[in-house]
Amino acid sequence: MNPATTMIGASTPRAGRCEWIGLAVLALACMLYSMDLTVLHLAVPHLSADLQPSSTELLWIVDIYGFMIAGSLITMGALGDRIGRRKLLLIGATAFGLTSILAAFATSPMMLIASRALLGLAGATLAPSTLSLISNMFLDPGQRTRAIGVWMSSFALGGAIGPLVGGVLLEHFWWGSVFLIAVPVMAGLLVLGPILLPEFKDPNAGRIDPWSSLLSLATILPVVYGLKQLASHGVEAEAVLAVVVGLAMGAMFVRRQFTLADPMIDLDLFRIPAFSASLGAYMVSGLVFFGIMLFLAQYLQLVLGLSPLEAGAWSIPPTIVFMVASMGATPAIIKRFPPAAVMSGGLMLSVAGFALFTRIGTDSLALIIAAQTVMMVGVAPAFTLLTTFVIGSAPPERAGAASAMSETGAELGGALGIAVLGSIGTAIYRGQVEGNLPAGIPVEASAAAQDTLGAAVGAAVALPADMGAALTNVASEAFIESIQAVAIFGAAILFAVAVVVGVVLRNVQADGGMHGGPTPSEEPEVPVGEAVSVPVEVV
């Protein structure tokens, strides 16, 4: 019998080889999920030439996948708790593979948009299902922390190698090939999933409330869309209205949860200090992390002049450092130091990484990579342990919903980071460009240069060589000023989060339980199949 089939009792069972192989299967699926967020970037010129989408259609082709994931996570997490997390994962894998084929052979912009939207819905089943399954497969706190480190690393690796994989495929095949890489992976998941992965669901859960599902989608979609528009185009009526509508829908969603006998989100979870504090810290840290990454990608390509493929390649070393810190260093360190101290210290180290960003110039590739590496070393234990706390502090029967809230928090944090830090950086950039424009710049080029760095570089190409070089230099210097300001702002936020984490979570154990309170291993012993059991079906 597999070790994980042991009941939860006085001694916590440890996962065996079958669970670790199952984790590898889950990690590969998560890597594909994350890769689909970035793999399309290099294919945009190719599909544009083939399908001839309008500028608006092209934006939706790129963005709709992430939007649908963000809007559907809560529903999918709750659905997994009800019908079974493995079952939902396998359904999602089937849908992901089929819609990937549909996207690969799309014959019109609208067909590709619809395919990407369906991909987002299917992708939304993967993150909460995989994370909640990990909570069932790895009961030992140390093993669970290491497993969540692997899970997080798979997302980081997928996002980093997406452009590289896309570039290699586009060298030999048509643009649709970037979608087909998901098919064999999802097929493998369908074969190995029933053999290696446990099934778990809450036998006492009621049905999914359709209105709650619609309200959650109506909350997240307009908020994420509005925040992204605010970051891209500044304060506009459409973007502000989208955010307001989303917040209004969110208020209705929360109010409805109070009226349901079996709510989609158990709001009592937020009364658990470890859960609410960890979720908030994860979201705010993600805000800073994703916000600064937006600027770094532009710096590598528009200031240093690297190709998208080269910029993607330079993102690999910091990602590898993140993976090592998440999977190896973090589980080892928390054996010797309290988790809160590890997270707080890691966030403080990230503050040092942000301080390095304030020293960059127009030719600082080595410094950028060093700063990213320091930042990654710091955020790895924080992100891993915060995620562990969110899952570990929730009741086992609500692990799917808790996983979904964790991922939704990360999505919202990323959107807020792009909007808030993006707006701050854009305002500083425009002020610097406006005050330092070279004499004689045409009005059109001047307006373009004050919009974005990309527009400035594009406008400079059409100018005489000396004037174009001067404009590019002014725009690059202004952009560096904006990065430095954003880094200072981000460092201040991370410092505050580090202090809050160190104080509020100081009594939380590595498994998410409180010192002096019950831990997951102290739950009452019940037959396999009940709400707090962890059944593992291994053939």
Q: Is the pLDDT of residue 392 over 50?
A: yes
Secondary structure string (H, E, C) spanning 163-207: HHHHHHHHHHCCCCHHHHCHHHHHHHHHHHHHHHCCCCCCCCCCC
Predicted confidence band of residue 535 (pLDDT cuts 50, 70, 90)? very low
Q: Which residue has the higher pLDDT, 332 or 97?
A: 97
| 69-83 pLDDT tens trace | 877 877 887 787 778
pLDDT at 12: 66
The count of other CB atoms within 10 Å of the CB of residue 163 is 25
| 175-200 pLDDT tens trace | 888 888 888 888 888 888 888 887 77
Q: Is the pLDDT of residue 438 over 70?
A: yes
Q: What percentage of the chain exceeds 70 in pLDDT?
A: 87
Predicted confidence band of residue 356 (pLDDT cuts 50, 70, 90)? very high
Q: Is the pLDDT of residue 373 over 80?
A: yes
pLDDT at 205: 67
Helix (H) or strand (E) holding 98: helix 85-104
Distances (CA, A) of 169 to 165, 180, 297: 6, 10, 21
Residue 11 burial by CB count (10 A; 0-12/13-18/19+): exposed, middle or buried? exposed
Cα distance between residue 155 and residue 28, in whole Å: 9
Q: Does domain 1-208 have CATH number 1.20.1250.20?
A: yes
Q: Is the pLDDT of residue 271 over 60?
A: yes
| 476-502 pLDDT tens trace | 888 898 889 999 988 999 999 899 888
Cα distance between residue 104 and residue 109, in whole Å: 12
- Tell me the average pLDDT across 370-381: 88
Cα distance between residue 275 and residue 263, in whole Å: 18
- Tell me the average pLDDT across 509-525: 45
Which distant-in-sequence residues (6+ apart) come within 8 Å of 466 by Cβ?
Answer: none
Is residue 526 helix, strand or coil? Answer: coil
Q: What percentage of the chain exceeds 90 in pLDDT?
A: 6
pLDDT at 397: 65
Q: Is the pLDDT of residue 128 over 80?
A: no
pLDDT at 10: 44
Q: Per mean pLDDT, which range of 47-56, 453-462, 529-538 is the poorest? A: 529-538
Cα distance between residue 318 and residue 295, in whole Å: 16
| 147-160 pLDDT tens trace | 888 887 887 888 77
Q: Which residue has the higher pLDDT, 454 or 215?
A: 215
pLDDT at 517: 44
To the nearest 10°, the Cα dihedral for 152, 156, 162, 163? 170
Cα distance between residue 373 and residue 14, in whole Å: 33
Q: Is the pLDDT of residue 56 over 80?
A: no
Whole-prediction pTM:
0.74
Structure tokens given for 340: 């809160």
Secondary structure string (H, E, C) spanning 121-159: HHHCCHHHHHHHHHHHHCCCHHHHHHHHHHHHHHHHHHH
Q: Is the dihedral of CA 92, 110, 104, 414 positive or negative?
A: negative
AA letter at 120:
G
Q: Which residue has the higher pLDDT, 419 or 108?
A: 108
Predicted confidence band of residue 135 (pLDDT cuts 50, 70, 90)? confident
Cα distance between residue 198 and residue 379, in whole Å: 30
Q: What is the mean pLDDT of the chain?
A: 78
Which range is most confident: 122-131, 226-235, 357-366, 529-538? 357-366
pLDDT at 537: 36
Q: Per mean pLDDT, which range of 26-30, 290-294, 511-515, 532-536 is the poorest? A: 532-536
